[in-house]
Structure 1
Amino acid sequence: MSSIIQLLPDHVANQIAAGEVVQRPASVVKELMENSVDAGSTEIKLVVKDAGKTLIQVIDNGKGMSVTDARLCFERHATSKIRHAEDLFALGTKGFRGEALASIAAIAHVEMKTKQDQDELGTHIVIEGSKFVSQDVAVLPKGTSFSVKNLFFNIPARRNFLKSDTVEFRHVVDEFERVAMAHANIHFVLIHNGSEMFNLPASNTRQRIVNIFGGRTNEKLVPVNETTEIVSINGFVCKPEFAKKNRGEQFFFVNDRFIKSAYLHHAVMAAYEGLLKDGTQPGYYLYLDVPPNTIDINIHPTKTEIKFDDEHALYAILRSAIKHSLGQFNVAPVLDFDRDATLDTPYDYEKKDVGMPTIQVDSTFNPFADDSDDKPAQSFSGGSSRSSSSSSFSSSSSYSSPSFKKDKMPSWESLYNGLNTSTDEIAEISFESEEVTGSLFNDEEVEQTAHKTYQIHKKYIVSPIKSGMVIIDQKRAHQRVLYEQFLANITVQHGSSQQLLFPLTLHFNKSELGIIKEMKESLQNTGFVFDEFSDDHIVVSGLPVNVAESEVSILLEELLNDLEQEVPDTSFSQSDSIAKSMSRSLAVKTGVALTEKEQETMVNALFACKEPGVSPFNKPTFITLSVEDLDKRFAL
């Protein structure tokens, strides 16, 4: 029997490796930008078309490559970062495996232009699906330009799995922001479909964060600085009052490499214990520097997960550092009360004895005596030589004070003259009794209309029906009602709006503003009125009729959180997503007491819906119990 195990061709092996390294256009952006950083670049420009599906181009002014290196960099496991296996535990660069460029060249049309500073001419290479098309000499500036066109052109199944352009571009922006935040000393530019999205000049870490996430971010930041033998922590955390529902602005960088760590995130949450509202997440931008030999970054294909040698110590240090910063900047409550400087003892009196004050009281003072008999009420003399002053109540005072003379004071009994009547003389008021001679309804109808609904545990509404009773979940029922209302308003493009006396200014980062602009028309059909769209804020002058002014920021934040991972392409799916998100945010919550009128309105509105049986999220809104079911329960 012949052998059945064979070596895979290089282009097949490269495509298999690309399945791990290149998942979407953002993966290509990450690999190419990290290579530019490793090349010592001071300026990096990213040009993207159609969210990276058509073109991804990274241009840098790094040290470039020679002719041999330019050809060899597309081979598998070819890298300049390591020489021995021990180098894996002392990495100071981003990439080290040598798989990225080979994998990218296997699934796209690649064009590379590179030149070193000491060379007069550069190298121009064109590759299509792992096949070298051409290699020429060209006049080029210093650095490297890497263009990736038609991603997944030879793997249509992978291309079909890509999301909409809005979602894919958001992932591209995420990778761009992570690399830019890790290297504030490099000038980054992002251009999408011909328009400049980001232009981040070289600056410090705080200014880089503000440039990416908007000007109002500066007032949210609390600096964190801690240096130990195990780890050096720098960066910023956000004040508790700026916590959000989603986990958007949360970044960990270990040795200038973005990572995800649920364990370290738990340490941050522990530091905020007692400071956050339920369901909210704090923002943080934390940079950790650890010895390279104490971490292993080779446990995940995208290198976003790291294994630490001593996680417990790192947890404790991170938690205490953040807690200390929150207390140091008066963000968290501390035991030390604010000292009032006005209560300090002057230096001249610091060593003097304290003189006890003496009090003299005139026990014969009578405020109702004549003027001639007036005497000082009381005098106080302290330890210092102060003249005691006396006060008297007399008619000759500088202001017209009331006179307390006994002979002029009217008798208090005179105030009650004429009210000396006995209780028997008080007139009695009688009401004519009204007898009900009949009823507009019969007894059965009165019993049915006496109580139509009941609320149980502020969660369920019970309403009697002919065959028994119906038990309604008030939250899910309200979600169904609001969902159909919003969907109808968006479909007919006519939503009722309430105008605000003072327009609201809401601040968002650029990626969030992009999603809001994408959904602007659908949001306007629900009742929102937008007056202005700026680079970092929007102005809202009108709201849907059932949205309170205090709920606007929370509503839009939850809407962005729902649409963050998937922004639909078709108008119907957009409308459906917005209607679902708004109904979930605005529906009455469990634990809210409803009046009988509100309960009846809820029941009537639910059964007037097209699909009253399920919520927008396919969960039952009510159940029915018949009289037979109840009889069976009691028959046991």
Structure 2
Amino acid sequence: MPDIIHLLPDNIANQIAAGEVIQRPASAVKELLENAVDAGATEIKLIIQDAGKSLVQVVDNGKGMSETDARMAFERHATSKIKNIDDLFHIRTMGFRGEALASIAAVAQVELKTKREEDETGTCLEIENSRVTRQEPVACPRGSNIAMKNLFFNVPARRNFLKSNAAEMRHIVDEFTRVALAFPAVFFSLSSNGQQLMHLEKGSLKQRVVQILGSAHNAKLVSVQENTDYLNIYGFVGKPETARKTRGDQYFFVNQRFIRSAYLNHAIMNAYRDMIAQDSFPLYVLFIDLDPAQVDINVHPTKQEIKFEDEKIVYAFVQAAVKHSLAQFSVTPTLDFDLDPSIQGLDAVSKPVSDEKKAAVTSSSLYQTFTKKNQAHFIEPSQKSELKHWKDFYEKPSTPAKPGEPAPARTEGPAHSQAAHTDIPGLAEASSIHRVSAPEEAPSLPGMPRPGNKIAPIEGAPLQQLLNTYIVTPTNRGFILIHQQAAHERVLYDRYAAAAAGKGIPSQKSLFPATLQLSPPDAILLQELAPDLQILGYQIEPFGKDSLIVQGTPADTGQGNEKAILELLLEQFKHFTSDMKFSRREKLIRSMARQQAVKAGQSLEDSEMKALVEGLFATQQPNVTPGGEPTYIEFRKEYVEKLFGR
């Protein structure tokens, strides 16, 4: 039998390796930008065509390469960063394994122009499918200019798995942002299809953060700076009001390398405990510098996951540094102990305690009782106390009132009046308790009506709002407790879904169009959503770099708060992006319904409650929200009667 094991050809081996390193155009952007940084560049330009599918080009003014180095750079595991095994544990550069260029050349058509300062001419290389097709001298400035064209041209199956241009562009912007944040002393620019999206001048870290996240964050950043013998932590965290429902603006860097770490994120969440909502995420851009020997960065193909030698120490330092910064800048909640000036003038405050007064105080029974451990309940009642007979206030009179005489005043005490004013909340609370404790006789679950006995609110019946959140209304077989936010979300969802499938919602032109200044990723996302938003009544057009203008809004909504609505809509949409089973339009419709629904805690007029209840039961599925949460709980008449033993 002949031998069956053989070595793979280099081009096939490179394509397999490229599957780990180059997953999409953004992966190539990351590798090429990091190579430019390692080359000592002070100016780096990224040029994109067709969301990276046609062209990814990086131009830098780094030290460049010789003719031999340019040819060697595309060989597998060819690197200038590692010479022996010890170098692997002292990595301070971004790249070091020599896989990036070889992987890119295996799945794209690559053109490289590079030149060193001391060379008269540069070198031009053209590589396709891991094979050099052209090599010749060329006139070019110092540095490197590498262009990756037609990604996955020789692997059509991989190319078919790429997302839409807008989605791939968002990934590219994310990678560009991470590298640009890590090196604020380097100029970066990003151009897409001939239009410049980002222009980041050299500056301080705060200037770079504000350039990327938006000028609105300038006054909402808290500086973090802690230096220790083991590690240094610096950067910025956002004030509690910057917390969002998504993790978008969270960046961790270790030795200027972007990483993902749920463990360190947990440390920051602990530092913000009791300052933000549990389902919110704070903003932070934090850098950790420590000895490379304490970190293993070679545990993941993209190097975005690392291992610390002692994670607990890093966790403690990060949490302490963030807590200290929030406290130092008076962001944490504090108690105000300022006294009224009139209180300061009292004798008890202004005059010292004399020996006679001290002796009188310490000899009292009250002082003696409180100074004994666990004896506070033995306080002796004072003879002068006006509350000596307080229990009589709640007891019935020993003798009934004579005919014609008014009843004693204490029979109408607080207990009676309180019961008279809390009957409705008490009923709702008791019902919810019994519903849990008696599942067999519990009120019918929403969406499970009995055959031939469909639930229907009684027309014209009075509606009652409880706790500014719930609406109680009688029905043909009992009563229901409606959650106003969940109900409105169902009404809006059906309306938007019908609009998306039909004519669309009419739009009214704005007399004074609102201008939105967004961060580059949000601007790209909103441009992607603009066609679907137009169906729902919003007319949005580009208006310069990272800016959009709202020309029209839905005809039945008020004007003046378009900016806040669309910013919150973007946050809500990003909250849904992790759910892959929905289309983009479905995510948008759900986001708008949830974001624009009336919120819990908002008081409603009778006409608003009536319109909400009627709108809810006019929908196709009134019992649940689009996300499957109940919109109301039903209490059947027979069940309520059993609660009272009837």
Q: Same fold (TM over 0.5)?
A: yes
Distance 1:456 1:594 in 2: 10
Q: 2:616 aligns with which of 587, 606, 619?
A: 606
Superposition pairs for residues 517-528 of structure 1, below 5 Å?
A: 517-528=527-538
Question: In the alignment, what sits opposite 1:48?
Answer: 48
Following superposition, the deviation at residue 240 of structure 1 comes to 1.5
1:477-528: CA deviation from partner (whole Å, max 9, x where unpaired): 432320222344455244366979x986655212212322333354355344
Distance 1:37 1:85 in 2: 24
Superposition pairs for residues 62-211 of structure 1, below 5 Å?
A: 62-211=62-211
Question: In the alignment, what sits opposite 2:309?
Answer: 309
Following superposition, the deviation at residue 472 of structure 1 comes to 7.0
Question: In the alignment, what sits opposite 2:523?
Answer: 513
User: Are residue 328 (structure 1) and residue 328 (structure 2) matched?
Assistant: yes
1:414-463: CA deviation from partner (whole Å, max 9, x where unpaired): xxxxxxxxxxxxxxxxxxxxxxxxxxxxxxxxx96685889999669776
Question: In the alignment, what sits opposite 1:369?
Answer: none
1:289-311: CA deviation from partner (whole Å, max 9, x where unpaired): 01110011111111111111122
Question: In the alignment, what sits opposite 2:370?
Answer: none
Secondary structure at the aligned position of 1:519 is classed as: helix
Higher share in helix: 2
Following superposition, the deviation at residue 280 of structure 1 comes to 2.4
Change (3 A) 1:529 1:25: closer
Secondary structure at the aligned position of 2:318 is classed as: helix
Change (3 A) 1:338 1:463: closer
Distance 2:299 2:532 in 1: 44
Distance 1:504 1:288 in 2: 40
Following superposition, the deviation at residue 16 of structure 1 comes to 1.2
Tell me if the contact between 1:559 and 1:582 (Cα under 8 Å) persists in the aligned partners.
no
Tell me if the contact between 1:166 and 1:567 (Cα under 8 Å) persists in the aligned partners.
no
Distance 2:334 2:602 in 1: 35
Change (3 A) 1:92 1:475: same
Question: In the alignment, what sits opposite 1:237?
Answer: 237
1:31-80: CA deviation from partner (whole Å, max 9, x where unpaired): 00101111111111111001101000011111111122111111111111
Change (3 A) 1:589 1:134: same
Distance 2:192 2:338 in 1: 52
Distance 1:306 1:236 in 2: 22
Question: In the alignment, what sits opposite 1:213?
Answer: 213
Tell me if the contact between 2:125 and 2:135 (Cα under 8 Å) persists in the aligned partners.
yes
Question: In the alignment, what sits opposite 2:246?
Answer: 246
Following superposition, the deviation at residue 330 of structure 1 comes to 2.1
Tell me if the contact between 1:167 and 1:565 (Cα under 8 Å) persists in the aligned partners.
no
Distance 1:596 1:492 in 2: 31
Q: 2:587 aligns with which of 545, 552, 577?
A: 577
Question: In the alignment, what sits opposite 2:369?
Answer: none
Distance 1:265 1:85 in 2: 32
Name the TM-score, length of structure 2 as normaliser. 0.71
Question: In the alignment, what sits opposite 1:553?
Answer: 564
Tell me if the contact between 1:48 and 1:55 (Cα under 8 Å) persists in the aligned partners.
yes
Tell me if the contact between 1:56 and 1:147 (Cα under 8 Å) persists in the aligned partners.
yes
1:212-257: CA deviation from partner (whole Å, max 9, x where unpaired): 2222222112111110011101111111122222221111111111
Distance 2:529 2:15 in 1: 37
Tell me if the contact between 2:244 and 2:282 (Cα under 8 Å) persists in the aligned partners.
yes
Amino acid at match of 1:492: K
Tell me if the contact between 1:245 and 1:557 (Cα under 8 Å) persists in the aligned partners.
no
Distance 1:329 1:631 in 2: 59
Amino acid at match of 1:508: L
User: Are residue 485 (structure 1) and residue 495 (structure 2) matched?
Assistant: yes
Greater shift, 454-463 or 145-154, is seen at 454-463
Tell me if the contact between 2:245 and 2:575 (Cα under 8 Å) persists in the aligned partners.
no
Distance 2:507 2:124 in 1: 60
Secondary structure at the aligned position of 2:287 is classed as: strand
Greater shift, 325-334 or 468-477, is seen at 468-477
Greater shift, 154-163 or 591-600, is seen at 591-600
Following superposition, the deviation at residue 555 of structure 1 comes to 5.5
Secondary structure at the aligned position of 1:492 is classed as: coil
Amino acid at match of 2:213: F
Following superposition, the deviation at residue 209 of structure 1 comes to 1.4
1:579-610: CA deviation from partner (whole Å, max 9, x where unpaired): 22111222345687878866654443234335
Distance 1:546 1:164 in 2: 32
Distance 2:233 2:48 in 1: 34
Question: In the alignment, what sits opposite 1:256?
Answer: 256
Distance 2:210 2:339 in 1: 34
Distance 1:510 1:481 in 2: 33
Tell me if the contact between 2:541 and 2:548 (Cα under 8 Å) persists in the aligned partners.
yes
Secondary structure at the aligned position of 1:180 is classed as: helix
Distance 2:559 2:22 in 1: 45
Amino acid at match of 2:528: E
Greater shift, 19-28 or 138-147, is seen at 138-147
Change (3 A) 1:130 1:43: same
Tell me if the contact between 1:42 and 1:61 (Cα under 8 Å) persists in the aligned partners.
yes
Following superposition, the deviation at residue 263 of structure 1 comes to 1.4
Tell me if the contact between 1:461 and 1:599 (Cα under 8 Å) persists in the aligned partners.
no
Q: For the pair shown, which has the larger CA radius of gyration, 1 or 2? A: 1
Secondary structure at the aligned position of 2:189 is classed as: strand
Question: In the alignment, what sits opposite 1:358?
Answer: none
Amino acid at match of 1:616: P
- What runs of 5+ residues in structure 1 fail to find an aligned partner? 345-352, 355-446
